[in-house]
Chain A
Amino acid sequence: MTTGRLYDIQGFSVQDGPGIRTTAFLKGCPLRCPWCHSPESQAFARQLSWMSMRCLGREACRDRCVNACPKGAIEEGPLKTDVATGEQVRTIHVKRDLCDNCGACADKCYAEALTMCGRDYTSEELVSRLLQDKNFFDTSGGGVTISGGEPLSQADFTVEVLRGLKEAGIHTALDTTGFAPWEALERTMPWVDLYLYDLKHMDSAKHKATVGVPNEIIHENARKLSEHGKALQIRIPVIPRFNEDEENIRATAEFCVELGDAVQVVQLLPYHNMGVMKYLRISDLKPLEAVPPSDEKMEQLKNLMASYGLKVTIH
């Protein structure tokens, strides 16, 4: 039995495969997509997360976090208005250059404003947790989606979890970047009903320049999955000034056509900037923001891809 690291489990997911699903998010990813809306999914190590919204104020907890920090990494932060009382309270600020993510402060933050992002489960623990929601899968035709990060970066764990779920009769989906050794993907095949498979850019150089890795292995793995008759739901994050040009969309559509019947649907996921605030929970850096593509633009891209005979949805 192996142990894996998750950063979240969400019930009532409605966009990660059929029916109502519970999605387990594994921590750690080899890609660094600048638009990533779950920045806490990227690093493999546990990270200190800071949510100002939950902070009770330094006075209320009498600086338990400040006093707990062995590095002196917690300093005075800005004032905020407490939602419940309407009063101004003094929050904290984490000096990231001093913080080594030891978690001592989070241990003392009962309000869970400071938490350690990343929790370890054995595969058995995770399966039994996910099976708690089985009654919802049964009525909705849903199931479990294993997502990330990149779940195949924790391949042994992912395979064990998928296998456990499959053996309990659960519909399984694996949400992957495809950036993993084929052997890893191959091992998941007996236990996965549907692959949610990302295609970010068809030009490998641009792919590498933007997300940090080339795309050949991703495309190769997609072809192999389709050859094995596995069902694919292709997901394309539509990112302004990166992959939304006609040339790339056409190339993507052609690739999907090449994959044949394996592709059940192509999902266009318009860029949104709701993840921006999440960066500030784990760092002082705010990523560059773009303007989300307009509804007309999305509709245009959908029609373009549909003209290749593909079934396309937005979201």
Chain B
Amino acid sequence: MYQNAPISQRVQEIRAMYRAKKPRIDLARYKLVTEFYMANPQLPGVLKRSRNLRNLFEKMPTPVRDHELIVGHLGEEFRASAIYPEHSFQWVLDELDVFPTRGVDPYDLNPEDKEYILKTGDFWIKNATCAAIDEVFPEEYYRDLLGNGVLNFTAKNNSGSPIGHYCGNYWTVVDRGLGSVLEEIRAKKAALLEKGLQGDEGQTLQFYRAEELVVEGIILYTKRYAAECLRQAETCKSEQRKAELLDMADRLNRVIDKPCQSYHDALQACFLYQLGLLMDSQPHGISYGRLDQYVGKYAEADIASGVLTREQAQELTDMFILKVAEINKLWSEGATRTGPGYTSGQLITLGGVDREGNDATNVATYMIMQSSARLKLHNPPLALRLHEGTPAELWEAGIETTKQVGGVPCFEWDKVAMEALMRRGIPLEDARNYCLIGCVEPCVCGCDFANSGGDGNNAYTILPAALWCAINNGINPFSFGPQKNTKATGPQCGYLYEMKSMDEVLAAYKAQMDFFTKWQVSMVNCYEYLYAMMNPLPLLSATMTGCIESGKDVMWGGAKYNGAGNSSIGHGTVADSLNIIDQVCFRDKIATTRELYDALMNNWEGYEDLHQYILGRCSHFGNNDPEADKYLKFVADTYSEGITRGISPRGCHWTAGCWPVTLNVVMGMFCDATPDGRKSGAPLSDGISPVQGMDKNGPFATINSILKFDQANYANGTLCNMKFHPTALQGEEGDKKLRAVMETYFRGGGMELQINVVSAKMLREAQERPKDYEDLVVRIAGFSAYFVEVYKEAQDDLIRRTEMSV
């Protein structure tokens, strides 16, 4: 039976420090970026970004803490959280007074730092990319579509996040070393000048100049850490620590620049490269990819040759994972509601197959998972790739880990994810090399600029709002005030009470979806146009396969493959709503379309009988009833066909996804009552699951209902949460049974599963006595969190999810 090995004293102390430390906003990055931007208004996009990053590599503090064997910090302090004012800023000023006390993920902030932000903040109001975004969005959107609720572009301050959701090529960093990349860049640049710049090669030259600056920069940055280790070694009293520092200095003088020689090298190189990416851009789904594949062969060699014992290798892995956990994504309170619990979206993918299709499990696969399990860490999130040849031992390790650390790892089925990637036009060998990005988005590891998260805040299409437009003549009635909204923002297809058949309802819904997916694509394409000019990603482009070869930044389409992903929210709510309209108004004629419409407009008040009848007596999606489930496929396909029609600035088709973070809760607050019996303000359905609590026939029926749409059409990922009562899965036998449930789901066409083994009773107790449940980790959406660090509405949504038990 799979078991956790004991944790070393040193690691226990680091973990205790990590759990005890309230994250603090650290201004090191903010100050350097502010000074640089103020001093260099003349620099255009790629030059500004590369020199800014170079400046950071030269000047960011390089602290080395006494406990560390792997170094790297985003500021001066332990668990430092950086600000990225060049992306968006108004929210920082708005929340300046409440950071330490805000309801979701509070952060400490020193008074003198606050003062500095106040003094310099005005500059960023006009100079953040956010300000420019508001200028490039078409006035027609502001005039005709504002307030539609399906898309979330607002009148001002759009784009709280930069382009994110990608994964660099770590093999280049670990196996080849960036010194060799630097030589290639210099050779390309020299050849270009030699030949003379033709056509648009002025841009190509700027790209190579930028690459040279940042690659030199990160090598320099690494050596600055080496110098700090040497400095500390000189005065170090402890012989043991001194030896460690000298060893670290030796390592830091080599890695990043040169190929790695050991497991320790590989972990350090991966961490610093990732840190470089995070220094350039906010941790917005910047994922590690297939970490076990980069570092596994070094671990195996070191253990085989006796350089490391298995225990020492495991301790290093613990330290690495704790380093990753230090990073937080500091965001506005509103945006943090979509991903609460101090997460950073640095998803690590494990397992799966190699490019030839053989099982790729190695010792690092197990060690990384073991670190998460025994340290009970929600962050970083892990994804475990499964296939028909996954070893039984790995199945067991994955299941035992998720039982201990809710939702870590999430499970992805290779066959369906790969099929989805191949439908994007990716050949089989490359599809086999996929990883997950951000929450659950498949992308080819190291050569695919997936941009699966759109522009962050607006990466979502809210389907129930489109349903409202469909049955209300293009008007989403939701408003923040006492009066309903009366402005039409979608196609005017009439009102529910004018519709004579289900076909008319469906046609109206499809018209909305075609319209809004077109606008979604248009808006994000505008946003990307601006980002490509203002915020290229030079350090990412240095390793991403295709960029150096083509002389193009990832933002200009330089990567070997390109993606552009969207996510939808509320499949279950809309599928069930259509089912109820059909059942109640057309099939069983329990109520007229007028009565149902009025009931919705009145949030069911005065229509209690109808409301209770719908909830208790109607058949709902999620119970394996073909009549009720048939609309799921319609809803899933209507959205995916609409969004997939779009073409991104980098020439690829857009892809459909369905993962809600906790936006199903947040967006539910802004959505009036829906026909499925949902009241105004209540959460929308979660992921691709049925409406919370309406799947009453047990897990078999739930799963068989969900499987009624083709998930391989969702190349941007699907997310399915399942919650099991602990007694249902006790012991070894329980593990086997859970595996069987998972395999049934996957073989039936399921792509992803994430599992919480926790009872509603336990969660309620944790709400009441948070102290007793400090380490209870639960999967919330595309990420896990400490339950007690999640805000109440999201906690309640988790409790409401149907609990599968015997």
- Say which one of A8-16, A156-164, A199-207 lies at the interface with B: A8-16
Asked if A11 meets B697 with Cβ closer than 8 Å, knowing A60-B608, A111-B615, the reply is yes
On whether the beta carbons of B741 and A12 are closer than 8 Å, the reply is yes
On whether the beta carbons of B699 and A139 are closer than 8 Å, the reply is no
On whether the beta carbons of B699 and A142 are closer than 8 Å, the reply is no
Give bound CA distance, A138 to B612, whole Å.
38
Q: How many whole Å from B694's CB to the nearest CB in chain A?
A: 12
Which of B608, B612, B699 meets A11, CB within 8 Å? B699
Residue of A19, A112, A136 ringed by the most chain B CB atoms within 10 A = A136
Interface residues of A in 1-29 (CB under 8 A from B): 10-15, 19-20, 22
Cβ–Cβ < 8 Å partners of A138 in chain B? 744
Give bound CA distance, A10 to B728, whole Å.
13
Cβ–Cβ < 8 Å partners of B608 in chain A? 60-62
Question: Residue A135 at the B interface, CB < 8 A?
Answer: yes
Question: Residue B743 at the A interface, CB < 8 A?
Answer: yes
On whether the beta carbons of A112 and B699 are closer than 8 Å, the reply is no
Which of A11, A14, A111, A139 meets B733, CB within 8 Å? A14
Give bound CA distance, A220 to B48, whole Å.
91
Interface residues of A in 42-86 (CB under 8 A from B): 56, 60-62, 64
Give bound CA distance, A145 to B581, whole Å.
37
Question: Residue B624 at the A interface, CB < 8 A?
Answer: yes
**22 interchain pairs (CB within 8 A)?**
A11-B697, A12-B728, A13-B806, A14-B737, A14-B806, A15-B806, A19-B737, A20-B740, A61-B612, A110-B613, A111-B615, A132-B704, A133-B700, A133-B704, A135-B744, A136-B740, A136-B741, A136-B744, A139-B744, A140-B737, A140-B740, A140-B744
A14-B733, A133-B700, A136-B741 are known contacts; what are 10 more A-B pairs with Cβ within 8 Å?
A11-B697, A12-B741, A12-B805, A60-B608, A110-B613, A111-B612, A112-B616, A136-B740, A136-B744, A140-B736
Cβ–Cβ < 8 Å partners of A109 in chain B? 616
Chain B: which residue is nearest A135 at the CB level? B744
On whether the beta carbons of B616 and A142 are closer than 8 Å, the reply is no
Give bound CA distance, A32 to B556, whole Å.
77
Asked if A12 meets B699 with Cβ closer than 8 Å, knowing A61-B608, A110-B613, A110-B616, the reply is yes
Interface residues of A in 103-143 (CB under 8 A from B): 109-112, 132-133, 135-136, 138-142
Give bound CA distance, A133 to B733, whole Å.
20
Give bound CA distance, A15 to B734, whole Å.
10
Interface residues of B in 669-705 (CB under 8 A from A): 697-701, 704
Give bound CA distance, A131 to B706, whole Å.
18
Question: Residue B804 at the A interface, CB < 8 A?
Answer: yes
Cβ–Cβ < 8 Å partners of A110 in chain B? 609, 612-613, 615-617
Chain B: which residue is nearest A23 at the CB level? B806
Question: Residue B121 at the A interface, CB < 8 A?
Answer: no
Give bound CA distance, A224 to B734, whole Å.
34
Give bound CA distance, A78 to B270, whole Å.
63
Cβ–Cβ < 8 Å partners of B769 in chain A? none
On whether the beta carbons of B741 and A20 are closer than 8 Å, the reply is yes
Question: Residue B748 at the A interface, CB < 8 A?
Answer: yes
Contact with A along B700-722 (1 / 0, CB 8 A): 11001000000000000000000
* Interface residues in chain A, defined as those with a beta carbon under 8 Å from any beta carbon in chain B: 10-15, 19-20, 22, 56, 60-62, 64, 109-112, 132-133, 135-136, 138-142
Q: Which 3 A-B pairs have the closest CB atoms?
A: A140-B740, A110-B616, A11-B698
Which of A11, A56, A62 meets B700, CB within 8 Å? A11
Question: Residue B645 at the A interface, CB < 8 A?
Answer: no
Q: How many whole Å from A52's CB to the nearest CB in chain B?
A: 16
Cβ–Cβ < 8 Å partners of B748 in chain A? 135
On whether the beta carbons of A10 and B806 are closer than 8 Å, the reply is yes
Q: How many whole Å from B146's CB to the nearest CB in chain A?
A: 34
Cβ–Cβ < 8 Å partners of A139 in chain B? 740, 743-744, 747
Contact with A along B596-629 (1 / 0, CB 8 A): 0000000000001100110111000000100000
Q: How many whole Å from B761's CB to the nearest CB in chain A?
A: 11
Cβ–Cβ < 8 Å partners of A62 in chain B? 608
Give bound CA distance, A20 to B741, whole Å.
8
On whether the beta carbons of B704 and A12 are closer than 8 Å, the reply is no
Interface residues of B in 715-753 (CB under 8 A from A): 728, 733-734, 736-737, 740-741, 743-744, 747-748
Chain B: which residue is nearest A141 at the CB level? B740
Asked if A56 meets B743 with Cβ closer than 8 Å, knowing A14-B734, A135-B748, the reply is no
Give bound CA distance, A142 to B806, whole Å.
14
Chain B: which residue is nearest A115 at the CB level? B616
Asked if A56 meets B806 with Cβ closer than 8 Å, knowing A12-B700, A135-B744, A136-B740, the reply is no
Q: How many whole Å from B590's CB to the nearest CB in chain A?
A: 11
Give bound CA distance, A204 to B763, whole Å.
47
Q: How many whole Å from B277's CB to the nearest CB in chain A?
A: 40
Chain A: which residue is nearest B796 at the CB level? A84
On whether the beta carbons of A135 and B747 are closer than 8 Å, the reply is yes
On whether the beta carbons of A12 and B747 are closer than 8 Å, the reply is no
Chain A: which residue is nearest B747 at the CB level? A139
Q: How many whole Å from A243's CB to the nearest CB in chain B?
A: 24
Asked if A19 meets B740 with Cβ closer than 8 Å, knowing A14-B728, A135-B747, the reply is yes
On whether the beta carbons of B615 and A10 are closer than 8 Å, the reply is no
Give bound CA distance, A108 to B124, whole Å.
62
Give bound CA distance, A156 to B408, whole Å.
49
Chain B: which residue is nearest A16 at the CB level? B806
Give bound CA distance, A56 to B613, whole Å.
12
Give bound CA distance, A133 to B615, whole Å.
25
Cβ–Cβ < 8 Å partners of B804 in chain A? 12
Give bound CA distance, A142 to B698, whole Å.
16
Residue of B616, B743, B747, B804 ringed by the most chain A CB atoms within 10 A = B616
Chain A: which residue is nearest B616 at the CB level? A110
On whether the beta carbons of B616 and A136 are closer than 8 Å, the reply is no
Q: How many whole Å from A54's CB to the nearest CB in chain B?
A: 9
Cβ–Cβ < 8 Å partners of B700 in chain A? 11-12, 22, 132-133, 136
Cβ–Cβ < 8 Å partners of A10 in chain B? 698, 806
Give bound CA distance, A261 to B748, whole Å.
38
Give bound CA distance, A22 to B806, whole Å.
10
Give bound CA distance, A171 to B594, whole Å.
50
Give bound CA distance, A244 to B806, whole Å.
26
On whether the beta carbons of B613 and A20 are closer than 8 Å, the reply is no
Give bound CA distance, A138 to B700, whole Å.
13
Cβ–Cβ < 8 Å partners of A13 in chain B? 806
Give bound CA distance, A19 to B728, whole Å.
13
Give bound CA distance, A270 to B757, whole Å.
24
Chain B: which residue is nearest A10 at the CB level? B698
Cβ–Cβ < 8 Å partners of A140 in chain B? 736-737, 740-741, 744
Cβ–Cβ < 8 Å partners of B698 in chain A? 10-12
On whether the beta carbons of B615 and A132 are closer than 8 Å, the reply is no
Cβ–Cβ < 8 Å partners of B737 in chain A? 12, 14, 19-20, 140
Give bound CA distance, A153 to B503, whole Å.
49
Give bound CA distance, A117 to B747, whole Å.
36
Q: How many whole Å from B558's CB to the nearest CB in chain A?
A: 43
Cβ–Cβ < 8 Å partners of A142 in chain B? 740
Cβ–Cβ < 8 Å partners of B613 in chain A? 110
Q: How many whole Å from A102's CB to the nearest CB in chain B?
A: 19
Give bound CA distance, A140 to B704, whole Å.
16
Give bound CA distance, A10 to B699, whole Å.
10
On whether the beta carbons of A132 and B741 are closer than 8 Å, the reply is no
Q: How many whole Å from B444's CB to the nearest CB in chain A?
A: 29
Chain A: which residue is nearest B704 at the CB level? A132
Contact with A along B790-806 (1 / 0, CB 8 A): 00000000000000111
Give bound CA distance, A14 to B740, whole Å.
11
Give bound CA distance, A259 to B567, whole Å.
61
Residue of B612, B699, B734, B805 ringed by the most chain A CB atoms within 10 A = B612
Q: How many whole Å from B343's CB to the nearest CB in chain A?
A: 28
Which of A20, A56, A132 meets B701, CB within 8 Å? A132
Residue of A14, A133, A138, A141 ringed by the most chain B CB atoms within 10 A = A14
Give bound CA distance, A43 to B85, whole Å.
71
Give bound CA distance, A142 to B736, whole Å.
12
Cβ–Cβ < 8 Å partners of A22 in chain B? 700
